Structure formats: structure tokens, C-alpha cells
């Protein structure tokens, strides 16, 4: 190849180039032909598409028509299903709820859904007709529900018997009497009041009060469903009226069976105190039962039936209980507004105490705006009772000081006023906590304990002032002081044995013990100074003066036998008179009585022994000595033991 000439190489290349040019020309020709063929296809396809367009339009219309038919058939099926449900619901509703309440309530729900469905079907020509029929049917259904609610509530609403209520109380409050509603009626100023002991029983603070079952638990869900349906139908007022009319009557009857009476202010004012006192004791008992058991139970029932409807719940409870609350509160108001008298203080404190005890429960049970009036009435009654008790407390002090009782204490013993006031004061200390709370209602400062001490001292001072006045009615000064001694001793002894000692203090006690001793000394001075003069040696000489020489062998120079006889005679007469009178006087305290006898004996007997020893022989030697020396010292001592026994008094009242 290396030897091939250059010309041959050129020819070869030209030949190859010519072949390639020829191939390209053929390829271009083929391409042009293919383009021409494809162009003719495009023209024909366009013509075909133009020819098929009407067919495609008709096909789409048919497809859309089928789709619309499907939609219409489905809508018709839904409407027909609603008609079927409507017929089913109507059949159940026409039967009424009594046989199958749950199914009946389900039918009402279906009916509401049907009404909702057709309300949204504005294009359905018969919607209005269907809706009218469904709404009329729903109205009938709700009316039957109202009847069923009334019948069901009435069937299971029965008054609670007193025995059931008593079983719900703590044992300390359960009455021992067989008479329903009547427990121990003792109240007032009697310190043995079992009622007040119950008030201050500390166990009550933790005692459990279990409200009775007013309506069976299985019935409450049904009543709730019924009330819910009626509220949804806009029948709140109808169900409220049914509930109020049914439950309020039952509640009032439960209280009536318990013993609660509807008493006016005039009825209260006409009552004898003993009767009224018993009714107040029962009222306190009834208030606790009503609030803690009946009203609490009623609130539970109301809350469950009207659960989810707070306003209706509170309004229903307020209207059910308002009449019963009014009956209870009106009695309390009548007492608070009645004429004040000292014996009412303790029942007023008891009433104030129970209202304070029930305050938190009343606030809880009677919650909500609908019960505002009831809560305000309770608060107002509590304040009026506090004010009346406070005023009565003040009246008592004034009454003690001005007491003008004509009760005569001829024997000088403890006056009824003294024992009354002391028992009154002692009983006040059972109410210390209550009085402290009461003073806080009105006090500007918190010194409630000192206020109680101050009031107690004022009462004691008023009593002593009155006793001083009464003591002046005695004609015998000795009896005046014996009377004051007895009464102040009784006061001091009573204070020492009570809580009043801590309040009044030891200084007060010691000061008044000294007053007792002063009156005892004054009694001795007034009662015995005259008779002791008979035993004095002064004035026994015949000349009426000079000293008395000693007695020797029964003779006494310068002593008048006649004077000696007269002295013995006078002594006998005075002692017998004292014995007759003062054995009728009384010193009721055994220790004080013995102490007073002893103090008299310590003065009288030594003087008599001395006089008898010195001058007795002058009389013994004469005629009828027993006429003059009638008593030996032992006789006097025995007769002194009969003093202050309080035997029958025959002395007329001054």
C-alpha cells in the first residue's frame, strides 16, 4: 500500500464521497415521502374527529343522565328511609311511653332527626307537609312525656315517716319517746335540760347525718331522661310546675308528720310559756332534721333529675322548698319578735345556736341565684335572734335590780330570786361559746370573754342591790343580817363551784366571803348583845354601882338578891323568846349553820357558866330556885342546836 500512487488514493475517496451523496439523497427522498404520508394521516384523523364529535356529545349526555338518575334514586332511597323511620317512630309514640319508656325516648330522638333532615331538604316539595306532621307528632310525644314524668314522679314521691328520719340521726339525737317528733321538751333556765346537752355534745361536730332515700335510685335516670327531653323541647316551665307541685306537697307532708305546725305571730303570742317552750325545743329539733336530712335529700334528688340544667335545677329546688322553709322560719321570726322576758333568753340562745350550726349547710344546700331569698331569710333570722337575745340579756340585769317580788322569806333563808339568778348565771356558762359568738356580732373589739365577765359582775351587783332592799323589810335587824348572810353565802358558794369562779376571779370570791362574815358578826351583835347584858356583873350591887366582891360560901356582900333573881328571870325570858323565834329562822347550808351556832355558843355559854357559878348560890338558897335557874349550860347548848332549823313560821308578813 505504501507503494500505491497518490492518484489512486484520490480516486478512491471521490468514489466513496459519491456513494455517500447518493445515499443521503435517497434518505431525503424517503423522509419526504414519510412526511407526505403522515400529513395525509393527520388530515384524515382531523376529518374523522369532526365526524365523531356529535357521537361523543351524545355519549357524555347519556353518562351524565345516568349519574343524575343514580343520585336521584339514592336521594329517593334516603327520603323513603326517613319516611319508614317516621312511620316507626309514630307507631311507638302513639302507643305511649308507659310500656317501654326507653324505646319511646328513642323514637322521640328519631323524630327530632327526621325534623332536622326535612328542614334541610328545601328542594323537596312535600317537606313542609312532612315537617308539620312531624312537629305535631313531637308535640304529642312531649305532652305524653309530661304525663309520664308526672305519673312516675308522683308514684315514687311519698312522705318520709318520722321513724325513718330518726333512724338517719346520730344516736345522741334520736328521741327516746314513742311520740314522733317529741323529744325531751325541757329547755329554758333548767340546767338539767337534755336538749341543751345535745346541743353541746362535741360528738355532733363529727356526727354523720345520712339523708333518706326520697326516690329510688333506679327511677332517677328515667326522670332525668324525661326532663332532658322536655327541656330540649322548650318545656322548662311545664316540667318545673309538675316537679314543684308534686315534690313540695310531699315535703310539706313529711314535715307535718314530724310535728311541724304553721303558727302565726298571733298564735305564738297567745301560748302559755310552758307550751311555747316545748314547741321551741321541738322547732330546734325540726330545723336540724329539715336542713340536714329532708332539704339535703331534696337537693340530691333535684340535682340528679335536672343534671346539666343548672338554672332549672336551682329554680326547681327553691320552689319546692320555699313553702316549708317559710313555715319553719316564720316560727323563729315570731319568737324573735315576741315580747321579751328573762326566761326566753336560753331558748333564744338555743335557736341562735342552731341557726349558727346550720349556716354552712344552708349556704351549700341553698346555693344558686334562685335561692338567694332563702339564704337571706336564714341570715336575717339569725341576726334577729342574736339581737333579741342580746336585748333580753340586758333586760335581765335590769329586771334583777328592780325585782319587786312580794314573795316573803320570813325565816331569812335564801330568797327565790337569789337561787333563780344564780342558776341563770350558772346556766349561762353552758352557753359560753354561743355568747362569745353573739357578742362578736355586736362588739367593736374582740374582748368577748371580758365582756361576759363584765356582764356577769353587773348581774351579781344588781342581785346584791336588790337583796339589800329586800333585807330592809325585816323588823328584826338580826334577821336582816341573817338573810344577807344566807344569800351572799349562797352566791359565793355557787360561784366557787362553777365556771363563774374562773371568770370572776379569786379576789371577787374572797371579798364576798368577808362580806358573809361581816353579816354573821352583825347578826350576833344584834341578836345576842341584849341577852349578854343580863349576864354582866354591872349593876348588881344594891347601890347600883361599885365593884362586886367575891362570893364566899354562897354569900356575897353588897349584892342584891332581888337583882340576881331579876337577871335570871330576864335571861330565861329572853332566851326562850330567842329560841322560839330563831328556831324558826333558817340557815340552809349545814356548814354555815353549825359555824354560826358554834360562834354564838362560844360567846353565850362561857358568860352563862361564869354568871351561874358566881350568882347561882344566891338563888339556890332562896325559895323556888328552879323558877330562876331554869337552865344548865348543857340545856342551853342543846337548845342552841335547835336554832336555824326553819321550823314553822307563824309571824305575819309585814
Domain end (from 373, 398, 423): 398
State whether 166 and 293 are in the same domain. yes
User: Does 342 reside within a domain?
Assistant: yes
CA distance 295 to 317: 9
The verdict on 379 and 445 lying in the same domain is: no
Question: Counting beta carbons within 10 angstroms of the beta carbon of residue 274, is it exposed (0 to 12), middle (13 to 18) or buried (19 or more)?
Answer: exposed
Same-domain check for residues 505 and 570: no
pLDDT of residue 100: 63
Q: Is residue 277 part of a domain?
A: yes
Q: What is the pLDDT of residues 490-518, one digit of tens each?
A: 999 999 988 888 888 899 999 999 999 99
Q: Does 190 fall in a domain?
A: no
Q: What is the number of structural domains in the chain?
A: 4
Residue 189 lies in a domain: no
Pair 274, 218 in one domain: yes
pLDDT 10s digits, 37-56? 767 766 777 776 787 777 77
Of the residues 156, 185, 219, the one at which a domain ends: 156
Residue 204 lies in a domain: no
Residue 186 within a domain = no
The reply to whether 254 and 334 lie within a common domain is: yes
Which of left, alpha, beta for 160 (phi over 0: left; psi -120 to 50: alpha)? beta
**CATH number of 637's domain:** 1.20.1280.170
Bridge partners (DSSP) listed for residue 559: 541
Same domain, 332 and 475: no
Estimate to the nearest angstrom the gap between the alpha carbon of 616 and the chain centroid: 79
Question: Does 139 lie in the same domain as 166?
Answer: no
Which residues of the chain, if any, have pLDDT below 50? 1-4, 178-195, 197-199, 543-555, 557, 650-654
- pLDDT recorded at residue 267: 92
CB 559 within 8 A of CB 548: yes
Q: Which domain holds residue 568?
A: 532-539+559-641
pLDDT at position 651 is 43
Same domain assignment for residues 445 and 473: yes
Q: Are residues 419 and 389 in the same domain?
A: no
The verdict on 218 and 84 lying in the same domain is: no
How much is the pLDDT for 164? 94
* Claim to verify: residue 375 and residue 442 sit in the same structural domain: no
How much is the pLDDT for 405? Answer: 76
Is 524 a domain residue?
yes
Establish if 193 belongs to a structural domain: no
Contacts with 167 (C-beta within 8 Å, 6 or more apart), sequence order: 174
Question: CB neighbours of 293 closer than 8 A, spacing ≥ 6?
Answer: 165, 168, 169, 209, 210, 211, 212
Q: Tell whether 328 and 218 lie within a shared domain.
A: yes
pLDDT in the model for residue 449:
61
Amino acid at each position: 500500500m505504501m507503494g500505491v500512487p497518490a492518484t489512486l488514493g484520490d480516486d478512491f475517496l471521490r468514489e466513496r464521497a459519491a456513494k455517500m451523496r447518493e445515499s443521503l439523497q435517497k434518505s431525503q427522498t424517503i423522509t419526504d415521502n414519510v412526511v407526505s404520508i403522515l400529513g395525509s394521516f393527520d388530515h384524515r384523523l382531523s376529518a374523522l374527529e369532526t365526524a365523531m364529535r356529535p357521537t361523543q356529545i351524545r355519549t357524555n349526555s347519556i353518562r351524565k343522565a345516568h349519574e343524575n338518575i343514580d343520585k336521584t334514586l339514592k336521594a329517593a332511597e334516603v327520603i323513603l328511609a326517613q319516611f319508614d323511620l317516621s312511620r316507626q317512630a309514630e307507631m311507638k309514640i302513639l302507643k305511649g311511653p308507659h310500656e317501654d319508656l326507653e324505646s319511646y325516648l328513642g323514637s322521640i330522638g328519631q323524630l327530632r332527626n327526621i325534623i332536622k333532615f326535612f328542614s334541610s331538604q328545601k328542594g323537596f316539595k312535600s317537606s313542609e307537609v312532612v315537617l308539620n306532621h312531624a312537629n305535631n307528632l313531637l308535640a304529642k310525644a312531649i305532652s305524653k312525656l309530661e304525663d309520664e314524668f308526672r305519673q312516675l314522679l308522683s308514684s315514687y314521691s311519698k312522705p318520709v315517716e318520722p321513724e325513718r328520719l330518726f333512724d338517719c340521726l346520730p344516736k345522741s339525737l334520736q328521741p327516746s319517746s314513742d311520740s314522733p317528733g317529741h323529744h325531751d321538751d325541757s329547755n329554758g333556765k333548767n340546767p338539767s335540760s337534755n336538749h341543751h346537752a345535745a346541743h353541746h355534745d362535741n360528738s355532733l361536730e363529727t356526727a354523720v347525718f345520712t339523708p333518706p332515700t326520697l326516690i329510688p335510685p333506679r327511677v332517677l335516670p328515667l326522670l332525668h331522661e324525661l326532663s332532658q327531653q322536655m327541656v330540649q323541647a322548650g318545656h322548662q316551665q311545664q316540667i318545673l310546675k309538675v316537679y314543684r307541685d308534686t315534690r313540695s306537697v310531699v315535703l310539706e307532708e313529711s314535715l307535718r308528720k314530724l310535728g311541724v305546725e304553721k303558727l302565726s305571730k298571733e298564735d305564738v303570742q297567745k301560748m302559755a310559756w310552758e307550751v311555747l317552750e316545748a314547741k321551741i325545743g321541738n322547732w330546734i329539733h325540726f330545723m336540724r332534721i329539715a336542713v340536714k336530712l329532708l332539704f339535703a335529700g331534696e337537693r340530691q334528688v333535684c340535682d340528679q333529675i335536672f343534671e346539666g340544667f343548672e338554672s332549672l335545677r336551682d329554680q326547681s329546688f327553691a320552689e319546692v322548698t320555699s313553702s316549708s322553709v317559710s313555715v319553719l322560719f316564720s316560727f323563729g321570726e315570731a319568737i324573735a319578735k315576741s315580747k321579751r322576758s328573762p326566761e326566753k333568753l336560753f331558748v333564744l340562745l338555743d335557736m341562735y345556736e342552731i341557726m349558727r350550726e346550720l349556716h354552712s349547710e344552708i349556704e351549700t344546700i341553698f346555693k344558686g341565684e334562685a335561692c338567694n331569698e332563702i339564704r337571706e331569710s336564714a341570715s336575717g333570722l339569725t341576726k334577729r335572734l342574736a339581737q333579741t337575745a342580746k336585748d333580753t340579756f340586758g333586760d335581765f340585769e335590769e329586771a334583777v335590780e328592780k325585782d319587786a317580788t312580794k314573795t316573803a322569806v320570813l325565816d331569812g333563808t335564801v330568797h327565790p330570786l337569789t337561787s333563780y339568778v344564780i342558776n341563770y348565771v350558772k346556766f349561762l356558762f353552758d352557753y359560753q361559746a354561743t355568747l362569745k359568738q353573739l357578742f362578736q356580732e355586736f362588739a367593736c373589739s374582740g374582748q368577748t370573754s371580758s365582756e361576759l365577765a363584765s356582764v356577769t359582775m353587773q348581774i351579781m351587783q344588781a342581785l346584791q342591790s336588790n337583796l339589800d332592799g329586800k333585807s330592809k323589810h325585816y323588823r328584826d335587824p338580826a334577821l336582816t343580817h341573817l338573810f344577807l348572810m344566807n344569800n351572799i353565802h349562797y352566791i359565793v358558794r355557787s360561784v366557787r363551784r362553777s365556771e363563774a369562779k374562773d371568770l370572776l376571779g379569786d379576789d371577787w370570791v374572797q371579798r364576798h366571803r368577808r362580806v358573809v362574815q361581816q353579816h354573821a358578826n352583825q347578826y350576833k351583835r344584834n341578836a345576842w348583845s341584849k341577852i349578854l347584858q343580863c349576864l354582866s356583873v354591872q349593876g348588881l350591887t344594891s347601890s347600883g354601882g361599885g365593884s362586886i366582891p367575891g362570893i364566899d360560901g354562897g354569900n356575897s356582900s353588897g349584892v342584891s338578891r332581888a337583882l340576881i333573881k331579876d337577871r335570871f328571870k330576864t335571861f330565861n325570858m329572853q332566851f326562850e323568846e330567842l329560841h322560839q323565834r330563831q328556831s324558826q329562822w333558817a340557815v340552809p347550808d349545814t356548814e354555815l349553820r353549825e359555824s354560826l351556832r358554834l360562834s354564838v355558843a362560844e360567846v353565850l355559854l362561857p358568860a352563862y357558866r361564869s354568871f351561874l357559878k358566881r350568882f347561882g348560890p344566891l338563888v339556890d338558897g332562896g325559895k323556888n330556885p328552879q323558877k330562876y335557874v331554869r337552865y344548865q349550860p348543857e340545856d342551853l347548848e342543846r337548845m342552841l342546836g335547835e336554832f336555824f332549823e326553819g321550823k314553822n313560821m307563824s309571824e305575819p308578813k309585814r
